[in-house]
């Protein structure tokens, strides 16, 4: 199940990952994803899914309320912009810390139970935060409108350092570089690589081993005299900090925060990203996040006109039929595709895309090495 990997291959993976992230605008250009807004989403949700995977992939605790940390991170970042400074570094740090603190509170309660109780508790607590953000906490969250920047914000640090944004609404800037477009992407990308590195260190560390032990057999772990709670709580808080960071980055690239980011659909989305890519694998969640955001972007942009063009090679009555069927799945109906994808993945490929890749890889190897009579065990990654 778990194979210790060498230092060298890890370094190679990290280097390859870094290069891929840095060159993403060129690599993803040909498939129509080479523009900064989408790339930012890839990086941000990649971080979110990486964090979720540390909890779900390693310990098997399925949290259904992770979007709450994302939302809290966004609010924290926007408030930092409003009160202190437009510099994204401070905002990102505060978002991470606030996400972590929030995760300590929620984790402390919900980790008392495991299995479905844990899922329901996290779902309930996240839904509670969402309700609160919409109603009573309106002075902090600005309710339905969402939290936005204003010209009259104090921004005490900016004022102290003599920065004046004049009469325009400021956007977040990193010592004078605006965090939109490619600079924004590279800011996210730097943190993305850092998060990937940290996640890799956690996977390879004794701590990561403990988390895997929690997943495979908690009782046996207790019998050996280990207390499970600190490990699970630590994993929960780390993944909460990742989510807070992702939320902060969402606010950095587009400085507003709304409660809808905390809804259960958003929590479901990160679960889907992780299992689509392959829970418990290092690279899987990143791939899952990329695939989902990519298809979301493409599918949402489709409308009937585009569909009619696509099916224009068909005879007319077939064209109409195809358009009316497929239009259910695109545009506004993107969520239908998402739900269907969710079911297909869980039913047929519980190990996610990474398992699919490894199955294909095994088959190829077997085909090329027919004369080797050593049978190759299909290495399946258990996904829970």
Partner 1 sequence: MDDILLQVLNGLDKGGAYALIALGLTIIFGTLGVVNFAHGALFMLGAFCAVTVKAVLGFEKVALDPTRLTAWGTPVEIRTTYVEAWFGDFGTLLLNFSVPVSIVIAIPIMLLIGIAMERGLIRYFYKRSHAEQILVTFGLAIVLQEIVKSQFGANPIPQPAPEAARGMIDFGAMIGMQAGGVVYPAWRLIYFLFSLLVIAAVFSFLQFTTFGMVVRAGMADRETVGLLGIDIDRRFTIVFGMAAVVAGLAGVMYTPILSPDYHMGMDFLVLSFVVVVVGGMGSLPGAVVAGFLLGIVQSFASMNEVKNIIPGIDQIIIYLIAVVVLLIRPRGLMGRKGVMEH
Q: Which residue matches tokens 């569909």?
A: 307
In angstroms, what is the minimal distance from the CB of 340 to partner 1?
6
Using CB under 8 A as the binding rule, whether residue 121 contacts partner 1 is answered as yes
Using CB under 8 A as the binding rule, whether residue 343 contacts partner 1 is answered as yes
Using CB under 8 A as the binding rule, whether residue 303 contacts partner 1 is answered as no
Q: What are phi and psi of 151, to 5 degrees?
A: -65, -30
Using CB under 8 A as the binding rule, whether residue 324 contacts partner 1 is answered as no
Using CB under 8 A as the binding rule, whether residue 31 contacts partner 1 is answered as no
Question: Which of 271, 283, 289, 292 is the binder for partner 1 (CB under 8 A)?
Answer: 271
Of 266, 293, 265, nearest to 43 by C-alpha is 293
Using CB under 8 A as the binding rule, whether residue 123 contacts partner 1 is answered as yes
CB closer to partner 1, 58 vs 125: 125
Beta-bridge partner residues of 174: 177
CB closer to partner 1, 100 vs 352: 352
Beta-bridge partner residues of 147: 257
Per 3-state DSSP, the chain is made up of helix, strand and coil in percentages (nearest 5) of 70, 0, 25
Q: Which residue matches tokens 């902060």?
A: 248
In angstroms, what is the minimal distance from the CB of 191 to partner 1?
29
Using CB under 8 A as the binding rule, whether residue 105 contacts partner 1 is answered as no
Of 21, 53, 50, nearest to 187 by C-alpha is 21
Using CB under 8 A as the binding rule, whether residue 264 contacts partner 1 is answered as yes
Question: Which of 103, 125, 191, 238 is the binder for partner 1 (CB under 8 A)?
Answer: 125
Using CB under 8 A as the binding rule, whether residue 117 contacts partner 1 is answered as yes
Question: Which of 46, 51, 57, 60 is the binder for partner 1 (CB under 8 A)?
Answer: 60
In angstroms, what is the minimal distance from the CB of 58 to partner 1?
13
CB closer to partner 1, 57 vs 255: 57
* 34 CB-contact burial (10 Å; exposed 0-12 / middle 13-18 / buried 19+): middle
Question: Which of 216, 339, 364, 376 is the binder for partner 1 (CB under 8 A)?
Answer: 339
Where do the DSSP E strands lie in the chain?
Answer: 147-148, 173-174, 177-178, 256-257
List the structure tokens of 260.
């809808």
CB closer to partner 1, 321 vs 364: 321
Using CB under 8 A as the binding rule, whether residue 62 contacts partner 1 is answered as yes
Contacts of residue 77, Cβ cutoff 8 Å, sequence gap at least 6: 91, 92, 94, 95, 247, 248, 249, 250, 251, 252, 255, 257
Using CB under 8 A as the binding rule, whether residue 268 contacts partner 1 is answered as yes
# residues contacting partner 1 (CB under 8 A)? 44
CB closer to partner 1, 90 vs 132: 132
Using CB under 8 A as the binding rule, whether residue 260 contacts partner 1 is answered as no
DSSP string, 60-107: ----S-THHHHHHHHHHHHHHHHHT-S-HHHHHHHHHHHHHHHHHHHH
CB closer to partner 1, 152 vs 219: 219
- Each residue of 234-267: b (16+ CB within 10 Å) or e? bbbbbbbbbbbbbbbbbbbbbbebbbebbbeebb
Using CB under 8 A as the binding rule, whether residue 294 contacts partner 1 is answered as no
* 280 CB-contact burial (10 Å; exposed 0-12 / middle 13-18 / buried 19+): buried
CB closer to partner 1, 83 vs 301: 301
Binding site for partner 1 (CB under 8 A): 60, 62, 64, 109, 112-117, 119-121, 123-125, 127-128, 131-132, 135-137, 264-265, 268, 271, 275, 328, 332-333, 335-336, 338-343, 346-347, 350, 383-384
């Amino acid at each position: 199940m778990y194979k210790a990997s060498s230092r060298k291959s890890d370094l190679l993976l990290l280097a390859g990952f870094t290069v891929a992230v840095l060159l993403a605008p060129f690599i993803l250009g040909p498939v129509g994803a080479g523009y900064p807004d989408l790339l930012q989403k890839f990086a941000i949700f990649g971080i979110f899914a990486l964090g979720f995977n540390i909890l779900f992939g390693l310990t098997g605790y399925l949290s259904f309320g992770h979007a709450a940390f994302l939302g809290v991170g966004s609010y924290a970042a926007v408030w930092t912009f409003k009160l202190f400074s437009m510099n994204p570094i401070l905002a990102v740090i505060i978002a991470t810390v606030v996400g972590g603190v929030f995760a300590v509170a929620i984790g402390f309660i919900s980790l008392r139970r495991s299995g479905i109780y844990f899922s329901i508790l996290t779902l309930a607590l996240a839904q509670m935060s969402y309700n609160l953000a919409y109603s009573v906490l309106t002075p902090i969250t600005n309710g339905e409108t969402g939290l936005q920047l204003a010209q009259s914000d104090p921004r005490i640090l900016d004022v102290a350092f003599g920065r004046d944004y004049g009469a325009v609404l400021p956007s977040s800037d990193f010592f004078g570089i605006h965090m939109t477009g490619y600079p924004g992407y590279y800011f996210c990308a730097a943190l993305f690589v850092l998060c990937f590195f940290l996640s890799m260190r956690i996977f390879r560390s004794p701590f990561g081993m403990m988390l895997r032990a929690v997943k495979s057999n908690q009782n046996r772990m207790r019998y050996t005299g280990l207390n499970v709670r600190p490990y699970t709580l630590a994993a929960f808080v780390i993944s909460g900090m990742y989510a807070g960071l992702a939320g902060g980055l969402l606010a950095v690239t587009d400085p507003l925060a709304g409660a809808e980011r905390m809804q259960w659909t958003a929590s479901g989305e990160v679960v889907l990203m992780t299992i689509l890519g392959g829970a418990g694998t290092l690279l899987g969640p990143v791939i899952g996040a990329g695939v989902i955001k990519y298809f979301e972007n493409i599918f949402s942009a489709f409308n009937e006109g585009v569909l009619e063009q696509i099916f224009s090679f068909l005879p007319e009555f077939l064209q109409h039929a195809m358009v009316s069927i497929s239009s259910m799945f695109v545009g506004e109906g993107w969520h239908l595709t998402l739900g269907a994808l969710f079911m297909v993945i869980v039913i047929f490929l519980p190990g996610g895309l990474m398992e699919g890749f490894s199955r294909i890889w095994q088959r190829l190897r077997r085909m090329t090495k027919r004369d080797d009579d050593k049978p190759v065990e299909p290495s399946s990654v258990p996904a829970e």
